[in-house]
Amino acid sequence: MQRDIDRILIPQRQIAQRVGELAKLITADHSPPKLNGTGELTIVPVLTGAIIFAGDLIRQIPIAMQIGLVTVSSYPGTSVSSQGAQVLAQQLGDLRGRHVLLLDDILDSGGTLRLVQSVLREQGAASVRSCVLLRKDRPAARELAVDYVGFDIPDVFVVGYGLDFDNYYRNLPDIVTLKSRVIEKKP
């Protein structure tokens, strides 16, 4: 696995620091007085890529919350560009009147967040905010308004810290690029 890494884009330490900062911002915005007693928080990580980000982030948000899950596929298998977002499964509970914070690993074309935001609104969420760890430097990604962004990165294919290639590399602690021989080998 280590041999396949081309470059470390964001090391573990820097990710941890930024996740802590995001948790503080989110806590300040979602503390009960801010929500005016109008409903509680549900965190919705987009599976599978957001699992590690969500695990690290929510343990630093000391507010009552429920967790809902949604599985979206847009980079199936060995794709390195979006093939169009599709909801594969959802386990969201009753969202009516709840404040929902959607978490995703990376904002690329915006298709995934747009799709899930509309699903959450249809289910009666009182508010829907979005947080992404990474945002790619491309016009489509900037067109979608997101409330919290961890890092803006160049428009390159990255893996690690939850992000995969063919469902591998999610367990790398850093966010990295892969050698071209790894990506090009697969169809």
CA distance 168 to 152: 23
172 binds, among ligand 5GP, Mg ion, none (CB under 5 to 8 A by kind): none
3-state DSSP percent of the chain in helix, strand and coil, to 5: 30, 35, 35
Closer to ligand 5GP by Cβ: residue 95 or 163? 163
CA distance 162 to 52: 5
Closer to ligand 5GP by Cβ: residue 68 or 110? 110
Closer to ligand 5GP by Cβ: residue 4 or 164? 164
* CB-side neighbour CA atoms (13 Å) of 46: 28
Between strands 86-91 and 5-10, the pairing is: unpaired
Of the candidates 108, 152, 164, 174, the residue annotated as catalytic is 108
Q: Which residues bind Mg ion (CB under 5 A)?
A: 49
108 part of the active site: yes
100 binds, among ligand 5GP, Mg ion, none (CB under 5 to 8 A by kind): none
**3-state helix/strand/coil string of 137-171:** CCHHHHHCCCCEEEEEECCCCEEECCECECCECCC
Q: Which residues bind ligand 5GP (CB under 6 A)?
A: 46, 49, 74-75, 82, 85, 104-112, 157-159, 163-165
Q: How far is the CB of 150 from ligand 5GP (least distance, A)?
A: 13
Q: Which residues are catalytically annotated?
A: 108
